[in-house]
């Protein structure tokens, strides 16, 4: 398991496929703040709630200068189904080999129903305009997470 990122660290660069198979890089967002969130699996209840919360608040976040990218180990085809079914507007990226998840410390051992398992650690990172980590949040809750981010970043709805 890789080390966890800390505020001030350079956010690991990445280029991944989106739901349509197009390549998206963190570098594409240079000059804007980016919220990068990692979630375990598309089309599951918690991940759906989280993605819908981000979609519902996308205009508010964009107005405050933030882009939003969701990353999971799902393949692009599954992300496309997820986007269509839930009418998602956030950019969803596929990391099936878990390279980026690992670089961000968002894949490894975690507790699930009292057992230690290896998997995706639901995590969110706020990356500044220069590619530095502003906030690194691990083991976040799917429900209420976006509201907490808005509050922490002093963004009013």
SS3 content of the chain, % helix, strand, coil (to 5): 30, 30, 40
Interatomic CA distance for residues 48 and 91, integer angstroms: 14
Q: Which DSSP letter does residue 74 get?
A: S
Tokens 């991940």 found at: 47
Whether residue 47 lies in the annotated active site? yes
The residue annotated as part of the active site, out of 11, 26, 36, 47, is 47
Alpha carbon of 140 to those of 8, 75, 94, 134, 137: distances in Å? 20, 23, 20, 16, 7
Residues in the chain: 157
Residues taking part in catalysis: 47
């Amino acid at each position: 398991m890789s080390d966890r990122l800390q505020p001030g660290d350079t956010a690991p660069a990445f280029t991944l496929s989106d739901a349509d198979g197009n390549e998206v890089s963190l570098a594409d967002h240079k000059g804007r703040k980016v919220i990068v969130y990692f979630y375990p699996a598309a089309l599951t209840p918690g991940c759906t709630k989280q993605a819908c919360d981000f979609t519902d608040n996308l205009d508010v976040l964009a107005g405050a200068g933030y882009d939003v990218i969701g990353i999971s180990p799902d393949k692009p085809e599954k992300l496309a189904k997820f986007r269509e079914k839930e009418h998602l507007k956030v950019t969803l990226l596929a990391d099936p080999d878990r390279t980026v998840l690992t670089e961000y410390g968002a894949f490894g051992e975690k507790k699930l129903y009292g057992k230690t398992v290896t998997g995706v650690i639901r995590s969110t990172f706020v990356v500044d305009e220069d590619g530095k980590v502003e906030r690194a949040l691990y083991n976040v809750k799917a429900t209420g997470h976006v509201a907490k981010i808005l509050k922490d970043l002093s963004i009013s709805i």
